[in-house]
Chains A and B, each alone.
Chain A
């Protein structure tokens, strides 16, 4: 038997009436993007988990202000991202997310997960190093758009930007990344 995907609008409506089970289903549906978006901001998994958890709790308490029929993800991501920004700590952690991933790649310790086998380890390490060399706002927009897989509206909500800014910043960041990668190849 094939189960139908839950209707998000119906879940939100039930959650607004105080149905915690429905809200639990919403959490399960969106915990991946919430956690990963928070990771991009905090650069720390433990802080990201706290931020995502707090964001979900605050969102539940704010459901009464959520406009019926509006998309839930951008609204949720805005709350989670605010929590993540509140937790963001020292500049020393700024690059931890990318640097750690790049280091693990170079060290070749554990076998990469199956999803990562499409691009080679060397190329992956170069991409991670390239991302790490970008400005924080460039990294954030590329992370939201491509690593988390958010659309432009969701990225705008998470980063507190206008959609137009997300478009232009994404194009600019991709250009800078291309430049960095090309420079790495030629030097």
Chain B
């Protein structure tokens, strides 16, 4: 091998990003049935999804009555509701439950809105799409390593006839109302808080929880967006302006 050929071989680390771990994603797809992705499929699944959410909400009323008594105050923003409570429910740690990993193109087929992504130069991290955690029109983009994500960007349609998702906040959590693109937004920071569903009757569903960090919640073109990570408010607002 000549010197030039050796030099070319040494370029690889400068050219290629780290190879993603593919085996888990590949294996999870091997048993998939051929999956139709047409409009009819999506309509059927939205109907089923709404039914599932309602059923879960009703179940939660019976299952976690203490949650009702702990609600102190509500902020409403689109399909997201933030509740401040006096005590957080226990949340399983170490497991990030944000749905099933999916190709971005397939995720786009499953939601009725155009998925917004951070511009490539906004963050140096791999982007992975997840769907299906809440069973309705929602996609989460994870930036970074799934074991140690840098950012989570969740986008949910507010058009469903249920209040879609919320956050449960403890007394150590600071909630600030602000605006993004001239629209109401919330900045939540401080103590950990947890996601949960809010059923059509406004009762929190604490069965579907995940830990969250500092979070910006805002609306854009009928889509509710949540940006979460170890970020400052200024960083979050800057990132929000770099979605395309």
Question: Which residues from chain B contact A49 at a C-beta distance below 8 Å?
Answer: 20, 22, 126
Question: Which residues from chain B contact A8 at a C-beta distance below 8 Å?
Answer: none
Question: Which residues from chain A contact B33 at a C-beta distance below 8 Å?
Answer: none
Question: Which residues from chain B contact A118 at a C-beta distance below 8 Å?
Answer: 10
Given contacts A45-B126, A101-B14, contact A60 B30 (CB under 8 A): yes
Question: Which residues from chain B contact A50 at a C-beta distance below 8 Å?
Answer: 103-105
Per-residue contact bits, chain A 32-61, to B (CB 8 Å; 1 contact, 0 not): 101110010000011001101110110010
In the complex, A64 has a CB within 8 A of chain B = no
In the complex, B161 has a CB within 8 A of chain A = no
Given contacts A53-B103, A147-B8, contact A112 B14 (CB under 8 A): yes
Query: Which of B7, B16, B29, B103 lies in contact with A119, CB distance below 8 A?
Result: B7
In the complex, A13 has a CB within 8 A of chain B = no
Question: Which residues from chain B contact A148 at a C-beta distance below 8 Å?
Answer: 12
A161 CB to closest chain B CB (Å) equals 19
- Bound-state CA distance A3–B126 (Å) is 32
In the complex, B100 has a CB within 8 A of chain A = no
B102 CB to closest chain A CB (Å) equals 10
Question: Which residues from chain A contact B20 at a C-beta distance below 8 Å?
Answer: 31, 35, 49
Per-residue contact bits, chain B 12-30, to A (CB 8 Å; 1 contact, 0 not): 1111110111111111011
B190 CB to closest chain A CB (Å) equals 32
- Bound-state CA distance A23–B22 (Å) is 12
Q: A105 to B14, Cβ gap below 8 A?
A: yes
Q: Which of A67-75, A122-130, A151-159 is near enough to bind chain B?
A: A122-130
- Bound-state CA distance A30–B16 (Å) is 15
- Size bracket of the A interface: 35 or more
Given contacts A27-B23, A147-B15, A147-B16, contact A20 B9 (CB under 8 A): no
User: What is the interface of chain A mostly: helix, strand, loop, or mixed?
Assistant: helix
In the complex, B11 has a CB within 8 A of chain A = yes
Question: Which residues from chain B contact A45 at a C-beta distance below 8 Å?
Answer: 17, 126
Give the total of B residues in contact with A, Cβ under 8 Å: 31
In the complex, B228 has a CB within 8 A of chain A = no
Q: A31 to B103, Cβ gap below 8 A?
A: no
Given contacts A31-B22, A50-B104, A115-B13, contact A146 B27 (CB under 8 A): no
Q: B13 to A116, Cβ gap below 8 A?
A: yes
Question: Which residues from chain B contact A27 at a C-beta distance below 8 Å?
Answer: 22-23, 26-27
Q: B5 to A146, Cβ gap below 8 A?
A: yes
Chain B residues 23 to 79 lying within 8 A of chain A, measured CB to CB, are 23-27, 29-31
Q: B13 to A112, Cβ gap below 8 A?
A: yes
In the complex, B234 has a CB within 8 A of chain A = no
Among residues of B, the one whose C-beta sits closest to the C-beta of A146 is B8
Given contacts A31-B21, A35-B20, A52-B22, contact A128 B8 (CB under 8 A): no
Q: A116 to B105, Cβ gap below 8 A?
A: no
Q: A20 to B14, Cβ gap below 8 A?
A: no
Question: Which residues from chain B contact A124 at a C-beta distance below 8 Å?
Answer: 10-11, 14
Question: Which residues from chain A contact B7 at a C-beta distance below 8 Å?
Answer: 119, 123, 127
- Bound-state CA distance A142–B7 (Å) is 12
In the complex, A174 has a CB within 8 A of chain B = yes
- Bound-state CA distance A32–B21 (Å) is 9
- Bound-state CA distance A54–B102 (Å) is 11
Question: Which residues from chain A contact B11 at a C-beta distance below 8 Å?
Answer: 101, 116, 119, 124, 127-128, 131, 146-147
Q: A35 to B22, Cβ gap below 8 A?
A: yes
Among residues of B, the one whose C-beta sits closest to the C-beta of A114 is B13
A63 CB to closest chain B CB (Å) equals 11
In the complex, B137 has a CB within 8 A of chain A = no
In the complex, A167 has a CB within 8 A of chain B = no
Q: A46 to B127, Cβ gap below 8 A?
A: yes
Q: B9 to A146, Cβ gap below 8 A?
A: yes
Question: Which residues from chain B contact A39 at a C-beta distance below 8 Å?
Answer: 15-17
- Bound-state CA distance A118–B10 (Å) is 8
B12 CB to closest chain A CB (Å) equals 5
In the complex, A163 has a CB within 8 A of chain B = no
